[in-house]
Structure 1
C-alpha cells in the first residue's frame, strides 16, 4: 500500500497535457482556494504518453490553476493506463433560451427514435421524452464530431449552471431541466485529440481510477521554492505511515 506514494512525481508544467477545456468560474475559485489554503490537497492524476509527456485525466482545473499561479513544476499522481476506465458525465441542464436555439441549429437534425447512425448527443426531458441529435451532414471523423460536441456544450455551458451526474445514474431529470448524454471516448481517441492541439468539452469525459490518492495536502511552498524538492520528499516520506486504505465505496462531499 505504501508504494502508492511512489506514483507521485514532480514534473515540469511544460510536460503536462490537458484534454479538456475549463470552466471560468471553477478555475477562478480554485486559484483563490490554492492561494488561501497554501496546499495541494489532491494531486492531479495523469497517464504518461508514448512521447513521455503526462496527460491529465483528473484534475484539469487544479493543473491550470497552478499554472496560472506561476508554478513551473506540478505534483501529479501517475497511474497505469491499464488500471483506468473511461465513461462520461451526464449533464443536467436548466432549460432556457439555449434549448430553443439548439433545436433550431441548422447543423443538426432531431429524431425521437435511435437510428443506426451514431448521434452527437442524447437528450432526456423531465417528462421522459427522448431525443437524439444527429448532424445534418455525414460526420464520421473524430475531429469533425469533436467540433459538434463543442457546439452543443457551448450552447448552454456559458449561460447556465450544469449539474454533472455519472453515466447511467438513472431516473428522470428534474422539472424544467434536460439531461444531456454524450458518447464515450477511448483513451486513444483523447490522445489523438490532444496530439492535434485540440481539447474535449469540459466535464464530458469521466475516468474511473484504481488506487486514487486523496488528501495528501502538500504545502505549495515545496513546489515553488529553490530546494523545495528535498522538503517535498521528506514530507512524502512522513506520509507513508499515515496512509489509510478503504476497500468499500466512499461518498465524498466537495
Structure 2
C-alpha cells in the first residue's frame, strides 16, 4: 500500500509487524491501562520495511498493548531512510538494590559466558567482543560469550537482561559515568553498558525472530510524528484497511490545512504524567 500523506503515516495489519526486541511487561501493562483509559493511541510506533516485513524500531510496548486489546490494525510511521543511514545507539541500564554477588552468580550460571576483568577494548565494543560491560562502585568487568555465534550471543544477552530485570528496577540512561549517576540515587547501583549494533544486524535479527533484550536499542528518527491521537474505536473496528487509511489521510490533510502540524527542530524534554 502506497503512503498518501506527507507524514509517512499508515494503518497496517498489526500481525504484519515484526519486533526486533522483547517488550518490557511492566511497561506494556502500564501502557495498556493508559490506552484503555484514554481510548486513543497518542504516538505511532516506528517501522521500517525490510525483506517485505515491517520491522518495529520503536514502540514495542504500544504494539504489545494493542495486541492485548485485540486491535487488528495499528497506525505506524514508516521511515524512508536508507538502512545504513539510520542513527542507532544504545541505552545503558542502571540496576538498583541488587547485590553484586547476586548479579555475579546470575552471570556465572549462564552457559557459554565468562567474566573478563582485564579487557582492553574501547567503550564502543561489539557483541562479538563482549555482551555487555558491568560497572560497580569498585570496578568494571565484561561479560563475554564464548560461543562465537551471533544468534547465540543475542539469545544469551537477552536471557541475562531478562534475568536481572525480574530481580530489580531497571532505569534507562545515556549517562555512562557511575559516579554522576550515584549522586541522584541513594541506593547502591550497578551500570550495564551494551555493545554497538549496526542497523542491518538489528533488522536481520528481527526477521529471523532473534530478539534483543527490551530497552537496549535507541533509534533516532528524523521528523518523528507525535500526538496523532488515533481513536481506539477506529483501530479496533471491522472497517477495511483501505477505509481506515482514507480516514487517516483525510485527518492529516485537515490538520495541515488548519496549521495544526508543526515541526520542532530543537531537542526537547518531555515530562510525562
Match of 1:132 in 2: 142
Match of 2:163 in 1: 155
- What is the alpha-carbon distance in structure 2 between the residues aligned to residue 194 and residue 13 of structure 1? 16
- What is the alpha-carbon distance in structure 1 between the residues aligned to residue 72 and residue 80 of structure 2? 24
Which stretch shifts more, 200-209 or 100-109? 100-109
Instruction: Choose the corresponding residue for 2:196, options 184, 187, 201.
Output: 184
Say if 2:10 and 2:245, in contact at 8 Å, map to a contact too.
Answer: no
What whole-Å deviation, never above 9, does each CA across 1:218-242 have from its counterpart, x for those lacking one? 2222223325444433322222221
Q: Any unmatched runs of 5+ in structure 1?
A: none
Say if 2:19 and 2:56, in contact at 8 Å, map to a contact too.
Answer: yes
- What is the alpha-carbon distance in structure 1 between the residues aligned to residue 236 and residue 250 of structure 2? 16
1:140 positional shift: 2.3
- What is the alpha-carbon distance in structure 2 between the residues aligned to residue 239 and residue 114 of structure 1? 54
Structure 2 CA distance for partners of 1:248 and 1:152, relative to 1, 3 Å: same
1:106 positional shift: 5.8
Match of 1:248 in 2: 266
Say if 2:18 and 2:207, in contact at 8 Å, map to a contact too.
Answer: no
- What is the alpha-carbon distance in structure 2 between the residues aligned to residue 104 and residue 16 of structure 1? 35
Return the TM-score normalized by structure 2: 0.82
1:38 positional shift: 0.9
Structure 2 CA distance for partners of 1:181 and 1:188, relative to 1, 3 Å: same
Structure 1 position 25 matched with structure 2 position 37: no
Which stretch shifts more, 30-39 or 74-83? 74-83
Say if 2:97 and 2:188, in contact at 8 Å, map to a contact too.
Answer: yes
Structure 1 position 122 matched with structure 2 position 126: no
Return the TM-score normalized by structure 1: 0.88
- What is the alpha-carbon distance in structure 1 between the residues aligned to residue 13 and residue 261 of structure 2? 27
RMSD: 2.2
- What is the alpha-carbon distance in structure 1 between the residues aligned to residue 197 and residue 214 of structure 2? 14
Match of 2:115 in 1: 110
